[in-house]
Structure 1
């Protein structure tokens, strides 16, 4: 056990090049090294400036606790507290430097984070564990299946054993996939022809970047709300009812964080209704690494290859506008076979899985860990 661990709240500086930024930079480096250990690259690590911009998100309060041994920051836990919905939830991202793993640092950080979350009135805690593809292929490792019944994480890994021993229950799995950019032009032509043959001219594409055109604002709001009501796979905001003001605020937040947003929507020509939408985010300081956000197609318009149509078109536009983009990452629930099939056609390959774990904290008493 690491008896000399000190847990502190991280001071968030005004700028990454300021005299008080050293601890913040050290904390970001912990996250980078952990992602290098897990995935073999730092594509998923925050650049310090990106993290600083994200900390100002009006929809989510973030607190970072750090673990020190001596003067060195050896672990961090990022605590995200949603402010618009899910007000009983806190999401933790726990990172421990590889050379200090297995020494009790994580348990102490997690206990401190749970205590803070409960003080903030949050009782449902979510954490994740990340498992690269190689760890999933080990036939001798057991499999832990989540409550959803789809997918698995490998038993016996340090991350899984830590989550189980600290009282967390595996809720669901997300498949983590990547696609090399730009798409091959021959593949694009084949997929576009396949999608267009299936929809037979009954649909029309619309594109924008960063801000939805005024003419489509209410249509996008209606689509997002319909998708949430229908439980359409891919939506991440099913607890929130959208309106035009919320959508415009979200756009301004993204722009303030330096993110660019590439969008393709599809209109059902006969009714003038938007029936599908897909979005890709480009980070401020990492234009080579981009992220697939929500893709939604309303249930009654499935079977026309609209998911394929809009995703191909959006990925082509992305490469035109951001030619430095070299890889697109996405997460999907295993039960969302609709989008997984589309992704496979586009050339996505599975990089691993993320396990989402949950724990309910009691109202009173010390944190259980």
Structure 2
């Protein structure tokens, strides 16, 4: 393929056929050579493309050769915090790699980011767990070739269900809910979510943590529930009814897996083995067809790694958060 034959255009979010084709190319690209890859489901993609967010602006690009989509890209622009940053993804079908498609998409993303006043572009790349530091693979090498530097790393872990039981400290009771957080727990849940956003390990990334209020939480819950079974386990101290921790789990509709998002124990409630108890309670409540759970943990988060290992999680991939300065 001659690069002059390549056309790049913008996905029309109103075109259902084009949306499905974009998602198909993304999914095939992500899963190529990665047996444990986790890709955005079509249902989740439909939500973000057809119901724009108040907090992020998103654009989807297509790379075409003879009207065939051979690569895709996504540009996300935060609108309320980190307004100097863009987040980008580039995916190219394996048979069309190393022909300039990825570079062309990246350069278009950088041009659009600069036009939007952004000075940094972040991206995530994932490689096999066995990959060494000197040979991380094509996606990592591509990011470096585009001028991006590694800023943070997380292990991608996988656990088969069921996991070993993890009893809660008898000083606490566990609460489970699905979907929207009940009104009686909403204030405490917001406090914990914001604590999590402030505490989450981020390596050398310079990011302003998002601040959730009730309106932003409600908007997030509404959008997520359209594509996921949203499950929360929370720990409540029996003596005073104070919530001391939570664990958030998503099961994409129509799939046989879940993915673990936040797990937080508030500082005053640590030392009671609540993290493992919260995760195990969520997993035990899953329907039988859910066979495994994915999660991500920073390598230096030793406490959470111990918790995950005890539950049967194993490292299957490495995820690197990269960043390029484009000012």
Please give the TM-score of this superposition, normalised by the length of structure 2: 0.90
Alignment of 1:257-336 (within 5 A): 257-284=226-253, 286-317=254-285, 319=286, 322-336=287-301
For 1:225 and 1:53, the matched residues in 2 are separated by 24
Which of the residues 81, 92, 107 maps onto 1:85? 81
**SS of 2:155's equivalent?**
strand
For 1:282 and 1:57, the matched residues in 2 are separated by 22
For 2:31 and 2:309, the matched residues in 1 are separated by 25
| Cα shift readout 1:98-153 (whole Å, capped 9, x = no counterpart) | 0111111111110001111111222221112210224x2xxxx5x1xxxxxxxxxx
For 2:281 and 2:244, the matched residues in 1 are separated by 15
For 1:329 and 1:164, the matched residues in 2 are separated by 27
Distance 1:48 1:209, change over 3 A: closer
Number of matched pairs? 320
1:146 paired residue number? none
1:147 paired residue number? none
Which of the residues 293, 298, 306 maps onto 1:341? 306
Contact 1:38 1:130 in 2 (8 A): no
For 1:225 and 1:109, the matched residues in 2 are separated by 35
Alignment of 1:135-214 (within 5 A): 136=131, 141=132, 143=133, 154-155=134-135, 157-183=137-163, 187-188=164-165, 191-192=166-167, 196=168, 199=169, 201-214=170-183
**SS of 2:58's equivalent?**
strand
Compute the displacement of 1:228 (Å).
4.0
Verify: 1:27 aligned to 2:22, yes or no. Answer: yes
1:12 paired residue number? 13
Verify: 1:247 aligned to 2:217, yes or no. Answer: yes
Contact 1:8 1:66 in 2 (8 A): yes
Of 266-275 and 68-77, deviating more is 266-275
For 2:318 and 2:200, the matched residues in 1 are separated by 21
Larger Rg: 1
Verify: 1:54 aligned to 2:55, yes or no. Answer: no
Compute the displacement of 1:232 (Å).
5.0
For 1:306 and 1:232, the matched residues in 2 are separated by 17
| Cα shift readout 1:318-346 (whole Å, capped 9, x = no counterpart) | x2xx3321221111111211211111111
Which of the residues 193, 196, 200 maps onto 1:224? 193
For 1:212 and 1:261, the matched residues in 2 are separated by 10
Distance 1:66 1:228, change over 3 A: closer
Which of the residues 30, 37, 54 maps onto 2:32? 37
Contact 1:82 1:89 in 2 (8 A): yes
Contact 2:41 2:252 in 1 (8 A): no
Distance 1:302 1:215, change over 3 A: same
Compute the displacement of 1:266 (Å).
0.6
1:109 paired residue number? 105
For 2:238 and 2:302, the matched residues in 1 are separated by 27
Contact 1:81 1:89 in 2 (8 A): yes
2:63 paired residue number? 67
Contact 1:34 1:95 in 2 (8 A): yes
**Mind listing any 5+ residue stretches in structure 1 that lack a counterpart?**
144-153, 363-369
Distance 1:57 1:292, change over 3 A: farther
Q: CA RMSD in A?
A: 2.1
Compute the displacement of 1:268 (Å).
2.4
For 1:207 and 1:52, the matched residues in 2 are separated by 28
Compute the displacement of 1:241 (Å).
2.5
Distance 1:259 1:165, change over 3 A: same
2:325 paired residue number? 360
